[in-house]
C-alpha cells in the first residue's frame, strides 16, 4: 500500500509541476512582445523518498536574467544617453552659425562688410555707399548677437533639462526602492516575485539612460543601485536628489545634490560618469561655453581691429566732438602711455588751425597757434585731461576735453572739427593700443562695458572700488566636492582712499579671509590684467561680484575680464556705435593730413584711404589670445572667422560620430541581452507540449495507481 501511496503522490506532484510549467510558458508567450520583459523559468527538483523517487517539487519561478549582459546594456545605454544629449545641443548650436558657403549667415554678413567697405572707394562722398557699409556692419553684429543668444538659450535649456531629468531620476529611484520592499516581502512568503523583478529591471534600464548605474542583487530580494562613481542611489532606502535650474544669462549654476539633508559634500556630479544628465552637464558647463567664449573672442577681435583703424580715420568734414568708450579707468589712474599722438583742430573749411602734439614720454602737450606747452607731469589721466582741455581752450576755434566716469571726450566749437592720429615715427601706446584707440574716441563698434581687458593699471594705482562691494569665490576640489566659500569685502583698510590694486591682490591671496590656500592672484605687469590660477587640487570660481569702480559702473571682474559675462558676453553686447547707426555719414572713410602747414586743408572730400584701411583689416595679421574653442594664434580676421566656423563644425561632427557609435554599441548590447533573456515562441511552445505530455503522464500514473488500488481492494488485501 505504501508503494501505491508513493505513486499517487508522485503523480500528483507531476500534475502540479506541469500546471506550473504551463502557467509560466503561457505567461512568457503572452509577454513575448513586452519591452524589457525577461523570460521566466520554472525551477524543479526531485522529491526524495525512501527507496524511490517521491515525485517532483516546484522550488520556484525565476527570471532568466543575465546579470552581466544587463550590466553591459546599462553601461551602453548611459554612454549613448550622454553622447546623444551633447550631440543634440551642439548640433543645434552649430546650425545657428549657418553655412559659410551658402545662404545668410554670420560669415556671409561679414563678407558683405568687407565688400561694402571696398565699394566706398568708388565714391567716398556717397552717403548711400557709407550707409550700405554701416548696414552690413549692423547685420554682422546682429548675427553675432543672434548666434550668441542661441548659445545662451541652449545653455539655459540644458539647465532646465537637467532639472527635469533629475526629477525623473528621483521618481525612478523611488519606484525601484518601493519594489525592493515588495519583492522582499513576497519572497519571504514564497510568492512569485518575477513580475515585480521585471518591473524593477525595466525601471533600472530607464534610470541607466539618465545616470550611469551599477546594480548588485540583494540576498533578501531586490537590488542595490549605485552610480559608477560609487554614489548609492538605492539601498535600504531611496536616495534624495535635488536640483533647481537658474535662468540668469551667464549666471552661476546650482549643483545636483544627493541626500542634502545629511550634510556637506552632497554634490553627486563628481560621481556621474555617463547618462543623459552627465551629457547635459558637459554641454552646459564645457561644450557650449567653449563656443560662446570663442564667439565672444572673435567678436571682440573683429570690433577691436575695426576700432583701431576707425580711430585713426576721420570723416569729411571732421566731427565736432569725439566721445570715447567706457574704459573703466578713473582720473587718478596713471596715464601709462608711451610715444606720441597728434590732435588736430580744424575750422569749418577743413583747414588745420591748431596742432596739439601729445608727448607721453615727456608728459607735455605742445601747441603751435599760439605756441605753448602744457604739462601733465602729475602723470594721471586727470592731469592729462586738464592739459588737453587747456590746450584746446587756447585754440581757434576753441575746444575742450573732459573725463567723466571712465569716458574721455574731446570737442571743438565754432563749426570746427577735431581729429586724433598716431605719430608716424613714435606712435602712442598703452598695452599695445594707441591714444584714440584705447580711449575709443572714434569707435565704430561699442559695448556698454570694457571691450578689451588689457587696461594697463598697476599695483600702485588706486583701485577705486567703492566701499561695500564684495567678491565671492567658491572652492571645490578637482572631483567637484565643495570645500569653502570665501567673500572678500571692500571694507576697512581696503576701502580706504589710499588703497591700491596691490592691496586688493594681497587681500585675495590672504589665507583664511581670502583664497590664498586655494589660488594665486597676480596683476600682470605687461597688461594690467588681474589674473587667477587655481592651486593644484582645487577649482576656484568667482560666484558673485558686487564691486563697482567709482562712478564707471564697471565691476572688478568686468574690468579684468574674469567671468563669462565679460568674455563671452561680448558676443551678445557688441553693436555698431549708436552715433554711427543714427548717422552713417559719420563712418570715417578718410584720413586727415595733420602734417600740413597750419592754414592748409587737412581733410579732403573724395579721400578713400580710410575705407581702404578698414577693408584691409580683413587681411591684417593679429595676435589672437585664444578664447574657448579657439586657441591662441597669429592670423587674419578672415582666417579667424573661417577657423571659428570650422571648429564649431568639427566639434559638432565629432560628438555626432560619438553618438552614432554609442547607438550602435547600445543596440548590439541590447540584442545580445534580448537573445539571452527574451522569449522564443518556438521554445515556449515546445515547453508547453512537454508540460502537456508530462501532465498526461502524471495523470496516467495516478490512474494506474488507482486501478492497482481497486484490484487490491477487490482481492481483500489491506
Do 140 and 205 lie in a common domain?
yes
Residue of higher predicted confidence among 515 and 693:
515
CA distances (Å), 691 to each of 101, 103, 233, 266, in order? 70, 70, 42, 54
Identify which has the larger pLDDT, 600 or 2. Answer: 600
Tell me what pLDDT residue 21 has: 77
pTM over 0.85: yes
Residues 477 and 594 in one domain: no
Output the pLDDT for position 265.
61
Counting residues of the chain whose pLDDT is more than 70, the rounded percentage is 98
In 447-593, the DSSP E strands lie at 470-477, 482-489, 519-523, 530-534, 538-545, 575-576
C-alpha cell at 403: 573725463
- For residue 22, what pLDDT band results from cuts at 50, 70 and 90? confident
Residue 52 has pLDDT above 60, yes or no: no
- Positions of E strands within 127-252: 213-217, 223-227, 232-234, 241-242
Give me the pLDDT at residue 403, please. Answer: 98
- Give a yes or no: residue 515 inside a domain: yes
Average pLDDT of the segment spanning 406-411: 97
Mean pLDDT of 54-79: 84
Would you state the pLDDT for residue 53? 57
Q: Is residue 656 part of a domain?
A: yes
Instruction: Tell whether 53 and 189 lie within a shared domain.
Output: no
In the chain, the percentage of residues whose pLDDT exceeds 90 is 73
What is the chain's mean pLDDT, rounded?
A: 91
Same domain, 190 and 95: yes
Q: Please list the alpha-helical segments (H only) found in 561-678.
A: 564-567, 570-573, 578-582, 609-616, 637-677
- Identify the pLDDT of residue 34: 79
Q: Has residue 673 got a pLDDT over 90?
A: no
Same domain, 99 and 149: yes
When pLDDT is cut at 50, 70 and 90, the band that residue 718 belongs to is low
> Band of the pLDDT at 634, cuts 50, 70, 90?
very high
Average pLDDT over residues 675-694: 81
Q: Are residues 491 and 593 in the same domain?
A: no
Residues 518 and 627 in one domain: no
> What is the predicted pLDDT for the residue at 189?
83
Binned at pLDDT 50, 70 and 90, residue 49 comes out as low
Identity of the highest mean pLDDT range in 100-109, 360-369, 668-677:
360-369
Does some domain include residue 636?
A: yes
Closest alpha carbon to 367 in 390, 400, 338, 334:
390
Taking 60 as the threshold, does the pLDDT of residue 51 lie above it?
no
Question: 240-249, 380-389, 442-451, 492-501: lowest mean pLDDT where?
Answer: 240-249
193 plus 296 within the same structural domain: yes
Q: Is residue 439 part of a domain?
A: no
What's the whole-number mean pLDDT along residues 462-480?
Answer: 92
Which residue pairs, CB below 8 angstroms and at least 24 apart, start in 256-261?
256/162, 256/166, 258/231
Cβ atoms of residues 646 and 631 within 8 Å: no
Residue 31 resides in a domain = yes
**DSSP-assigned letter for residue 238:** B
pLDDT band at 76 (very low <50, low <70, confident <90, very high): very high
Place of cell 526629477: 167
- Mean pLDDT value of segment 244-253: 86
| Residue 369 placed within a domain | no
What is the pLDDT averaged over residues 217-242?
92
Number of domains in the chain: 3
Residues 594 and 530 in one domain: no
Tens digit of each residue's pLDDT (9 = 90 or more) over 454-469: 999 999 999 999 999 9
**Over 80: is that where the pLDDT of 54 sits?**
no
Same domain, 115 and 194: yes
* pLDDT of 293 above 80: yes
First to last CA, the chain: 7
The pLDDT score that the predictor gives to residue 147 is 96
pLDDT at 43 over 80: no
* Residue 508 confidence class, pLDDT cut points 50, 70, 90: very high
Task: Please determine, for residue 529, whether its predicted confidence score (pLDDT) is greater than 90.
Answer: yes
Q: Is 551 among the domain residues? A: yes
Give yes or no: residues 72 and 202 share one domain. Answer: yes
User: What pLDDT band is residue 98 in, cutting at 50, 70 and 90?
Assistant: confident
Q: Is residue 95 part of a domain?
A: yes
pLDDT tens figures, 318-339: 999 999 999 999 999 999 999 9
Mean per-residue pLDDT, 47-69: 73
* 275-286 average pLDDT score: 96
pLDDT for the residue numbered 665: 95
The answer to whether residues 529 and 659 belong to one domain is no
State which residues form the domain around 76. Answer: 65-211+274-305+582-677
Ramachandran region of residue 190, left (φ > 0), alpha (ψ -120 to 50) or beta?
A: left
Distance of CA 653 to the CA centre of its chain: 18
Amino acid at each position: 500500500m505504501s508503494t501505491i501511496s508513493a505513486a499517487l503522490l508522485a503523480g500528483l506532484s507531476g500534475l502540479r509541476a506541469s500546471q506550473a510549467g504551463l502557467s509560466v510558458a503561457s505567461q512568457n508567450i503572452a509577454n513575448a512582445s513586452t519591452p524589457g520583459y525577461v523570460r521566466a523559468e520554472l525551477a524543479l527538483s526531485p522529491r526524495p523518498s525512501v527507496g524511490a523517487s517521491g515525485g517532483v517539487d516546484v522550488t520556484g519561478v525565476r527570471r532568466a536574467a543575465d546579470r552581466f549582459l544587463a550590466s553591459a546594456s546599462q553601461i551602453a545605454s548611459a554612454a549613448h544617453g550622454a553622447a546623444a544629449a551633447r550631440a543634440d545641443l551642439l548640433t543645434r548650436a552649430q546650425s545657428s552659425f549657418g553655412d559659410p558657403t551658402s545662404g545668410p549667415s554670420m560669415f556671409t554678413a561679414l563678407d558683405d562688410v568687407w565688400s561694402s567697405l571696398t565699394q566706398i572707394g568708388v565714391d567716398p562722398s556717397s552717403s548711400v555707399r557709407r550707409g550700405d557699409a554701416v548696414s552690413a556692419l549692423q547685420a554682422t553684429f546682429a548675427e553675432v548677437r543672434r548666434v550668441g543668444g542661441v548659445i545662451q538659450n541652449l545653455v539655459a535649456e540644458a539647465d532646465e533639462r537637467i532639472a527635469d531629468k533629475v526629477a525623473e531620476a528621483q521618481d525612478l529611484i523611488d519606484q525601484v526602492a518601493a519594489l525592493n520592499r515588495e519583492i522582499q516581502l513576497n519572497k519571504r512568503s514564497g510568492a512569485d516575485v518575477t513580475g515585480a523583478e521585471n518591473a524593477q529591471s525595466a525601471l533600472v534600464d530607464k534610470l541607466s539612460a539618465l545616470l550611469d548605474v551599477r546594480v548588485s542583487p540583494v540576498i533578501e530580494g531586490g537590488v542595490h543601485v549605485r552610480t559608477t562613481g560609487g554614489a548609492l542611489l538605492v539601498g535600504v532606502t531611496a536616495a534624495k536628489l535635488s536640483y533647481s535650474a537658474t535662468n540668469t544669462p551667464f549666471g552661476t549654476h546650482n549643483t545636483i545634490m544627493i541626500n542634502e539633508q545629511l550634510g556637506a559634500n552632497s554634490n553627486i556630479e563628481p560621481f556621474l560618469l555617463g547618462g543623459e544628465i552627465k551629457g547635459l552637464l558637459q554641454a552646459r558647463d564645457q561644450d557650449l561655453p567653449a563656443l560662446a567664449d570663442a564667439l565672444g573672442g572673435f567678436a571682440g577681435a573683429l570690433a577691436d581691429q575695426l576700432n583701431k583703424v576707425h580711430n585713426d580715420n576721420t570723416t569729411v568734414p571732421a566731427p565736432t566732438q569725439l566721445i570715447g568708450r567706457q574704459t573703466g579707468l578713473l582720473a587718478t589712474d596713471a596715464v601709462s602711455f608711451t610715444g606720441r599722438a597728434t590732435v588736430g583742430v580744424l575750422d569749418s573749411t577743413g583747414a588745420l588751425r591748431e596742432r596739439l602734439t601729445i608727448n607721453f614720454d615727456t608728459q607735455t602737450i605742445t601747441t603751435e597757434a599760439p605756441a605753448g606747452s602744457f604739462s601733465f607731469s602729475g602723470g594721471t589721466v586727470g592731469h592729462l585731461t586738464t592739459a588737453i582741455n587747456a590746450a584746446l581752450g587756447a585754440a581757434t576755434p576753441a575746444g575742450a576735453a573732459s573725463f567723466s566716469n571712465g569716458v574721455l571726450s574731446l570737442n571743438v566749437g565754432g563749426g570746427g572739427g577735431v581729429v586724433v592720429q598716431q605719430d608716424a615715427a613714435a606712435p602712442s601706446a598703452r598695452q599695445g593700443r594707441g591714444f584714440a584707440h584705447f580711449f575709443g574716441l572714434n569707435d565704430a563698434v561699442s559695448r556698454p562695458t570694457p571691450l578689451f581687458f588689457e587696461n594697463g593699471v598697476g599695483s600702485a594705482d588706486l583701485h577705486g572700488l567703492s566701499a561695500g562691494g564684495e567678491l565671492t569665490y567658491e572652492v571645490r576640489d578637482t572631483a567637484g566636492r565643495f570645500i569653502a566659500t570665501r567673500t572678500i569685502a571692500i571694507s576697512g583698510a581696503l576701502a580706504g582712499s589710499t588703497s591700491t590694486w596691490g592691496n586688493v591682490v594681497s587681500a585675495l591671496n590672504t589665507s583664511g579671509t581670502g583664497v590664498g590656500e586655494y589660488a594665486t592672484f597676480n596683476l600682470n605687469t605687461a597688461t594690467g590684467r588681474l589674473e587667477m590660477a587655481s592651486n593644484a587640487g582645487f577649482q576656484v570660481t568667482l560666484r558673485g561680484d558686487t564691486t563697482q569702480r567709482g562712478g564707471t559702473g564697471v565691476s572688478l571682474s568686468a574690468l579684468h575680464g574674469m567671468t563669462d559675462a565679460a568674455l563671452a558676453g561680448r558676443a551678445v553686447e557688441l553693436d555698431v556705435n549708436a552715433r554711427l547707426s543714427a548717422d552713417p555719414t559719420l563712418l570715417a572713410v578718410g584720413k586727415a593730413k595733420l602734417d600740413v602747414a597750419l592754414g592748409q586743408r587737412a581733410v579732403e572730400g573724395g579721400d578713400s584711404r580710410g575705407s581702404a584701411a578698414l577693408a584691409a583689416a580683413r587681411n591684417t595679421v593679429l595676435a589672437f589670445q585664444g578664447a574657448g574653442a579657439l586657441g591662441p594664434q597669429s592670423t587674419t580676421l578672415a582666417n579667424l572667422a573661417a577657423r571659428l566656423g570650422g571648429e564649431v563644425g568639427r566639434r559638432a561632427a565629432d560628438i555626432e560620430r560619438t553618438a552614432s557609435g554609442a547607438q550602435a554599441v547600445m543596440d548590439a548590447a541590447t540584442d545580445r541581452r534580448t537573445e539571452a533573456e527574451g522569449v522564443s515562441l518556438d521554445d515556449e511552445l515546445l515547453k508547453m507540449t512537454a508540460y502537456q505530455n508530462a501532465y498526461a503522464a502524471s495523470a496516467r500514473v495516478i490512474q494506474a495507481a488507482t486501478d492497482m488500488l481497486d484490484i487490491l481492494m477487490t482481492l481483500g488485501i489491506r
